[in-house]
């Protein structure tokens, strides 16, 4: 009976050691992986341009201001048509009308209030087209309308790419292939081979201007000011080692 007292604890100790040993082995094997980050990059030219401008007018009464806006609008439409921009590519917004006031001061310089001076009217228009070269040239030559008496403001064009999903899929493939190549080199240097993917995580999609020092954003960049763009994406992949 006395020997049984020593045998039972001994068996328990052996079982415990066996369980802990297996647990350690499992933990070691679970960590027997390599983590790499692959990069996919490409440059491309925008295939869609969105350019905006605004025609303005000032008048003592709203009716006269509307008449000026309509005259300027017709000249802008004729100008764009002459440059080969179809009417369906041009959208005119509604006319904004604002009352204008000027400050009034007393003889001693103190503020006495304000007086109504007239109306300011503004109508914005937008040109959206896949004929990037043509619209880009027109946006630079709008000053000729000023000589015709048109009060106009022109803004910088925005550039987009209509097949962005294709670019993104292609970059995921490139980044994944790059990650695998890196993992294979690391494993080979250690005398091992890579196995199946244990986990994969895609980084944010970044679009910046090509040949610029534009910074990346944690939430992803989306450049619209540059016609020539660069897209990049990263893939963080964990491979098992065998």
State whether residue 86 is helix, strand or coil.
coil
**CATH superfamily membership of 32-45+163-241:** Protein of unknown function (DUF541), domain 1 (3.30.110.170)
Beta carbons within 10 angstroms of residue 231's beta carbon: 23
Q: What would the pLDDT profile of 152-202 be if each residue is shown by its tens digit? A: 999 999 999 999 999 999 999 999 999 999 999 999 998 899 999 999 999
Give the Cα separation of 137 and 127 in Å (integer): 13
φ/ψ region of 113 (left if φ > 0, alpha if ψ in -120 to 50, else beta) reads: left
Nearest-angstrom CA–CA distance, 68 and 56: 8
Which residues have C-beta within 8 Å of that of residue 129, sequence separation ≥ 6? 48, 49, 85, 89, 135
* Cα distance between the two ends of the chain: 50
Q: Looking at the chain, which residues constitute the CATH 3.30.70.2970 domain(s)?
A: 49-158
* Tokens standing for residue 181: 């190549």
* Average pLDDT estimate for 120-140: 96
Written as one string, the DSSP assignment of 52-77 is EEEEEEEESSHHHHHHHHHHHHHHHH
Residue among 2, 13, 118, 3 nearest 64 (CA): 118
Is 0.75 topped by the overall pTM? yes
Rounded Cα distance between 223 and 200, Å, is: 27
Helix, strand, coil % over all residues of the chain, rounded to 5 = 40, 40, 25
Q: Which of 159, 162, 170, 157 is nearest to 205 (CA)?
A: 170
Residues 6 or more apart whose CB falls under 8 angstroms from that of 148 comprise 75
Per CATH, which fold does 49-158 belong to? Alpha-Beta Plaits (3.30.70)
Per-residue pLDDT at 31: 55
Q: Tens digits of per-residue pLDDT, 4-63?
A: 444 445 444 444 444 444 433 333 344 589 999 999 999 999 999 999 999 999 999 999
Dihedral angle of Cα 52, 58, 59, 62, to the nearest 10 degrees: 40
In the chain, CATH 3.30.110.170 sits at: 32-45+163-241
């Amino acid at each position: 009976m006395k020997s049984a007292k020593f045998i039972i604890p001994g068996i328990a100790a052996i079982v415990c050691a066996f369980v802990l040993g297996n647990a350690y082995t499992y933990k070691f094997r679970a960590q027997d992986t390599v983590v790499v980050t692959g990069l996919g990059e490409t440059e491309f030219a925008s295939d869609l341009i969105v350019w905006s401008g605004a025609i303005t007018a000032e008048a003592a009464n709203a009716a006269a201001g509307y008449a000026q806006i309509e005259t300027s609008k017709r000249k802008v439409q004729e100008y764009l048509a002459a440059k080969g921009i179809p009417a369906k590519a041009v959208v005119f917004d509604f006319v904004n009308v604002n009352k204008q006031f000027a400050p009034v001061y007393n003889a001693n310089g103190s503020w006495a209030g304000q007086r109504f001076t007239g109306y300011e009217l503004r109508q914005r228009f937008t040109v959206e087209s896949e004929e990037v070269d043509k619209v880009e040239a027109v946006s630079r030559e709008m000053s000729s309308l000023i000589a015709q008496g048109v009060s106009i403001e022109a803004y910088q064009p925005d550039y987009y790419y209509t097949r962005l999903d294709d670019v993104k899929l292609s970059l995921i493939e490139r980044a994944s292939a790059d990650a695998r190549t890196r993992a294979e080199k690391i494993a080979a240097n250690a005398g091992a081979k890579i196995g199946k993917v244990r986990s994969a995580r895609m980084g944010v999609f970044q679009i910046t201007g090509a040949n610029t020092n534009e910074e990346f954003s944690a939430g992803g960049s989306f450049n619209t000011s540059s016609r020539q763009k660069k897209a990049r994406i990263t893939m963080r992949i964990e491979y098992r080692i065998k």
